[in-house]
Amino acid sequence: MEFNHKSVLLHETIENLNIKPDGIYVDGTLGGAGHSLEIVKRLSDKGRLIGIDQDADAIAAAKERLSNYASKVTIVRSNYAAMKDELLKLGITKVDGILLDLGVSSFQLDTPERGFTYRETDAPLDMRMDQRQTLTAKDIVNDYSEQDLYRIIRDFGEDRFAKNIAKHIVEARKTKEITTTGELIEIIKASIPMKVQKSGGHPAKRTFQAIRIELNKELEVLQDNLDTMIDLLDEGGRFCIITFHSLEDRIVKTSFRKNENPCTCPKEFPVCVCGKVSKGQVVTRKPILPSEEELCYNKRSKSAKLRVFERHLNK
Ligand SMILES: C[S@@+](CC[C@H](N)C(=O)[O-])C[C@H]1O[C@@H](n2cnc3c(N)ncnc32)[C@H](O)[C@@H]1O
């Protein structure tokens, strides 16, 4: 199957990475290598790109797409949470730019057997980005308590019918284990008033998103690793992050601000005594959003936000 994925905010991201031809760049969410291809095209023979993804299908697609630039590219199957260690294995301690384009690729969504899509009715409830992981969406749906299901559907899916959906899931699994996306979709539909189902988007979209975020620990991984990634940047190095969820965006915005101004001294103190030093500067006070044109040809860009941070070593 062809790896179909239209890269989001491509031009804006490449422009903001300020690519130095001899620099070292890391794409922590390589996917189909749409962004990476544009990075590597701008590198000299001395420049280097390290592409990381946890998904075996993405790795295979990216290898193929970047094959003409193989001498400048290293592709690693890993979680970006392990970026520092993966770079150390390659003898790299500082880089000139990092990109994260979060969430799932269209390829993952469009491959029914991966279980991400709410449009297929006979797919297994999987949703693992890393196929080596043992926990799947089926485990969450069948083993989580009603309270935990409610919490994730409410917080990660922002679904106003979260309580009812969680109740219906727990009720349904009493008679039979829920194993397919189709079964889950029917349960969700039964939890949402018909009038709402007809007016909004797909009734299962939010619950599927919630389970995916929970299963792949998407927010935790982001929250826990931003500081380490900022530390990997060399003087003037840029960190570009594209988010698709309000909670993701809040994590990035808060972390970038904190790294720009980490001082914890009370406001009335005339000078800083906490000793916390700024690591750089937020480049985007407001996030960069997709253009009208991009919104027209790429529906997936609808909720995308790009934020950029620039590292300064001696501020
Ligand atoms: C939106 S796609 C990236 C698309 C890519 N920028 C392009 O233009 O083709 C996100 C990719 O990040 C990967 N991914 C998400 N979270 C990850 C993580 N924590 N570690 C490694 N890869 C991750 C997914 O498997 C997916 O392939």
DSSP notation for 177-216: ---BHHHHHHHHHHHS-HHHHHHSS-TTHHHHHHHHHHHT
Residues with CB under 6 A from ligand 1: 5, 7, 29, 31-35, 52-55, 58, 79-80, 101, 103-105, 129, 221
Name the residue ranges covered by the structural domains of the chain: 10-107+218-311, 117-216
Side-chain half-sphere CA neighbours of 118 within 13 A:
18
Which residue of 27, 30, 87 sits with most ligand 1 atoms within 8 Å of its CB, as the best mutation to test the pocket?
30
Instruction: Output the residue whose Cα is nearest ligand 1's atom 18.
Output: 79
At residue 101, what are phi and psi to the nearest 5 degrees?
-120, 95
How many A from CA of 102 to the centre of ligand 1?
6
How many A from CA of 28 to the centre of ligand 1?
7
Q: 171 is written with which tokens?
A: 């009720």
Rounded to the nearest angstrom, the gap between the alpha carbon of residue 85 and the centroid of all alpha carbons in its chain is 20
At residue 167, what are phi and psi to the nearest 5 degrees?
-60, -45
Whole-number Å distance between alpha carbons of 267 and 156: 34
Q: Which fold has domain 10-107+218-311?
A: Rossmann fold (3.40.50)
pTM beyond cutoff 0.85: yes
Q: Could you identify the residue written with the tokens 């299901």?
A: 149
- The CATH code belonging to domain 117-216 is 1.10.150.170
Which residue of 129, 225, 244, 303 sits with most ligand 1 atoms within 8 Å of its CB, as the best mutation to test the pocket?
129
Q: Which numbered atom of ligand 1 lies nearest the CA of 7?
A: 8
Query: Which pLDDT tens digits describe the chain residue by residue (315 residues)?
Result: 566 778 999 999 999 999 999 999 999 999 999 999 999 999 999 999 999 999 999 999 999 999 999 999 999 999 999 999 999 999 999 999 999 999 899 889 889 899 999 886 789 999 999 999 999 999 999 999 999 999 999 999 999 999 999 999 999 999 999 999 999 999 999 998 877 777 778 889 999 999 999 999 999 999 999 999 999 999 999 999 999 999 999 999 999 999 999 999 998 999 999 989 999 999 999 999 999 999 999 988 999 999 999 999 974
CB atoms within 10 A of CB 92: 16
Is-contact 153 207, C-beta < 8 A? yes
Instruction: Output the residue whose Cα is nearest ligand 1's atom 26.
Output: 31
Q: 170 is written with which tokens?
A: 């727990």
Side-chain half-sphere CA neighbours of 301 within 13 A:
19
